[in-house]
Amino acid sequence: MGDEAVALGAVHAGLTAAYAYPGTPATETFEFLLGYSKRHGHPVASWCANEKTAYEQALGVSMVGRRSLVVMKHVGLNVAADPFINSAIVSVHGGLVLAVADDPGMHSSQNEQDSRFYADFARIVCFEPADQQEAYEMTRQAFEVSERYEIPVMLRLVTRLAHSRSIVYAYQEEAEKPLDKARDPASWTLLPSHARGLWRRLLEVQPELVALAEESPHNRLTLSDHDRGLGIITTGIARGYFLENLPELDSSPSHLHIGVYPIPVAKVRALAEQCDRILVLEEGYPLVERQLRGLLPTPLLVQGKESGDVPLAGELTPDAVRQALGLPCRPISVPAVEDLPPRPPQLCPGCPHRDSYNALNEALGDYELSIVNADIGCYTLGAAPPFQAIESCVCMGAAIGMAKGAADAGLHPVVAVIGDSTFLHSGVTPLMDAVAADCDMTLMILDNEAIGMTGAQHTVLSSSRLEPLVLGLGVDPDHCHVVEARPANVQKLADVLRHELEHHGLSVVIPVRECIEHVKRRRKEAKA
């Protein structure tokens, strides 16, 4: 799997420690590292409370001269954006690589943002592998580049690479780096007086980064002698879709493939000199296309997502690329069957969230108007029939803040629904706000003792430590209840909720039962 190729590449690069928060499609990189670490006693591999804490721990490893890897999904980088952007300014010491997996097509995400923009924004190097073998090799190179230029390096994957399997050939392992603390604390202390100098240093190194991209064998320019009309630029996995269609083109056009950013300007110019028109094929947002196009008209015609030649939303496919290349549609042999009922994902039979939602729906039945702000996890599936129990899902932890806002605005009753892991990820700080204001809302922390959606990983804190944490934040013990979530208990849970909805102040109800997938995982791990 592409995810696993990254993990193996990192291990073979002498990795000391890896940090992550689970998120599709990035989870498997870390699962591989956890397994490896269990078998070999190294590297350090720990699930973290969230992506920001993960990134900061990796920075600490780098500061003492060793190599670290941080793994997250694209939206996780929003959470880790603060340490990420600032880490571009410090003088990274031990190689620091951020492997981030984007999810174009939103197979299991709330958006399809493109992490390459973050790399561009931070002015660092970004590797974008086109296949599993490149994922392995680029991970290893990323560590070297990180140390050579003292910057963090991004490795950008997309779902179709992260979750597809292929053979990877590995080579000679490197030894772990010795402990070697960064000599100059000033290059790690972003006081304005230091930061100005460090920022200038990062700007000064930019031409070197462009030169690295120009010379990289991953950025390959093939000029065609006979076809001077069309030029193609591909990035990452789009190359595969282009090559798949290539045999059907009349002649093979000039082609530049980009696998390392910043954009290799000279190579792009060399391509442009050969052609009247350039078609940009890239997975994600149109990053390269936008830079090529600029604002002012040029004689060169640039085609891609912005121009409408490739769909702007959704995942890139071989068929979309075929169309953009002007190849005729394939004849349809079996027409698509339109009248089939959809089969959306749903909560597992016997899932504890089912009982929680049945109870919540019953308790809210008495009110004409109410609001339920929920969050990200399996329980988001409670938005669909038969439950239709929740009304929002925006980003990790948003449930609590949004509920407080709705209560502040005057609505009653207000319910926030969040899972235990999402609560630990980003729910503790908004709960502090709610405690400070003794906000008139009821928070349900659905404690399934696991991160269900991504494959039932263990949460960072065990379930028994959830209630003391909530009470420690200052929630009134009289309005904090832990109730077992099982079918026989729905009535009891509904009664507790009813009572707390009527309490004009902050209440916390924690329905608890272990996720079914987690039970299975635990048994499997016990056997192994």
Partner 1 sequence: MKYDVVLAGVGGQGVLSVGLVLATCARADGFEVKMSEVHGMAQRGGSVNATLRISDAPIHGCLIPQGTADLVLATEPLEALRYASELAPTGTLITSTEPHRNIPDYPPIEDLLRRILALPRAITVEARRLASQAGSTKAVNLVMAGAASSLVPIRPSTFETQIRRVFGTKGDRIVEINLAAFELGREAAQCVAA
Footprint of ligand SF4 on this chain (CB under 6 A)? 347-348, 351, 353, 378, 448, 452, 456, 515-517
x-marked contacts with partner 1 along 381-420 as a string, rule CB under 8 A: x---------------------------------------
Strands of the sheet containing 254-258, edge to edge, are 220-222, 254-258, 230-235, 277-281, 301-303
Answer yes or no whether residue 1 interacts with partner 1 by CB under 8 A. Answer: yes
**Cα 127 to chain center, whole Å?**
16
Site string for partner 1, 232-271 (x = CB under 8 A): -----x-xxx-xx---------------------------
Check residue 313 for interaction with partner 1 (CB under 8 A): no
Q: Are 430 and 461 in contact (CB under 8 A)?
A: no
Question: Closest Cα partner for 373 from 349, 397, 354, 347?
Answer: 397
Residue 307 touching partner 1 (CB under 8 A): no
Cβ 89 vs Cβ 199: under 8 Å: yes
CA triplet 116, 118, 121: central angle to 5 degrees? 110
506: contact with partner 1 by CB under 8 A: no
Q: Which is nearer to ligand SF4, 259 or 452 (CB)?
A: 452
Question: Is 192 one of the binding residues for partner 1 (CB under 8 A)?
Answer: no
List the one residue from 175, 191, 296, 337 that touches partner 1 (CB under 8 A): 337
Residues sharing a CB contact under 8 Å with residue 438, sequence separation 6 or more, in sequence order = 505, 506
Q: Which of 207, 345, 365, 474 binds partner 1 (CB under 8 A)?
A: 345
Q: Is 528 in the site for partner 1 (CB under 8 A)?
A: no
Output the smallest distance, CB 351 to ligand SF4, in A. Answer: 3
328: contact with partner 1 by CB under 8 A: no
Q: Is 318 in the site for partner 1 (CB under 8 A)?
A: yes
Both structure tokens of 205:
């190194």
Output phi, psi for 491, to 5 deg. -60, -45
Pick from 175, 296, 336, 488 the residue near partner 1 by CB under 8 A. Answer: 336
Amino acid found at 238: A
Backbone phi and psi for residue 125, each to the nearest 5 degrees, phi listed first: -85, 140
Spatial distance between the Cα atoms of 191 and 339, rounded to a whole number of angstroms: 63
Q: Which of residues 443-462 bind partner 1 (CB under 8 A)?
A: 453-455
DSSP 465: G
Amino acid at 18: A
**Nearest distance in Å: CB 512, partner 1:** 21
Non-local CB neighbours of 294 within 8 Å, separated by 6+ positions: none
What are the residues binding partner 1 (CB under 8 A)?
A: 1, 24-25, 27-28, 107-108, 160, 163-167, 237, 239-241, 243-244, 317-319, 322, 330-337, 340-348, 378, 381, 453-455
